[in-house]
Amino acid sequence: MRAVIQRVSEASVSTDGSTKASIGKGLLVLLGIEDADEREDADWLSRKISTLRIFDDTEGVMNLSVNEVKGEVLVISQFTLHAKTKKGTRPSYVRAAHPDRAAPLYEYFLDRMQYDAEKAVRSGTFGADMKVGLVNDGPVTIFIDTKDKNF
């Protein structure tokens, strides 16, 4: 499971020309699921994201989590995070989980993230053509892969 986490001052996702979800200060999480991923990956990743200390404290030091600043969370499914680009110029997505496997794990991650973030989590529409808008705060962007937990 791979995630790109962006600290945002605002973010939104639209499908078919209408806004599906939007947040203010918080985290935008782009989530990619591969065939090898299990619920344990979602559990670990959700805990990690909800406790990342990437928000400024009163001294201007990144020392607070999204929970501590009472921030919001928007999660967007993104299979392209598993693109292989080693050969040629057309990415291969063979490692990305098929929708019948990825969709339930995505829903599980949303539930888990809601539990760990201690608040409602907004989301895009799994498998839809989405338009994502954001104002990256910092900018702060972090990449996490559950297959590399020691990184």
**β-bridge partners, 141:** 6
Domain-embedded: residue 151? no
Task: Give the confidence band of 72 by pLDDT, cuts at 50, 70, 90.
Answer: very high
Residue in this structure with the two tokens 């990256």, named with its chain if needed = 136
User: Rounded to the nearest 10 degrees, what angle do helices 99-117 and 39-51 cross at?
Assistant: 40
What mean pLDDT is reported for the chain?
95
Give the domain CATH number at 89: 3.50.80.10
- Tell me, what's the pLDDT at 138? 93
Q: What is the pLDDT of residue 59?
A: 96
Token digits of residue 36: 């090898």
6 noted as active-site residue: no
pLDDT tens for each residue of 2-35:
999 999 999 999 999 999 999 999 999 999 999 9
The predicted model scores a pTM of 0.94
The question of whether 151 is a catalytic residue gets the answer: no
Q: Which of 55, 79, 109, 126 is catalytic?
A: 79
Arithmetic mean of pLDDT, 48-64 = 97
How many structural domains are present in the chain? 1
Give the active site residue among 78, 109, 114, 126: 78
The parent domain of residue 141 ranges over 2-145
> Residue 7 — φ and ψ, nearest 5°?
-80, 125
What pLDDT is recorded for position 95?
A: 87
Contact between 106 and 81 (Cβ < 8 Å): no
Residue 89 annotated among the catalytic residues of the structure: no
Domain presence at residue 130: yes
The yes-or-no verdict on residue 151 having pLDDT over 60 is no
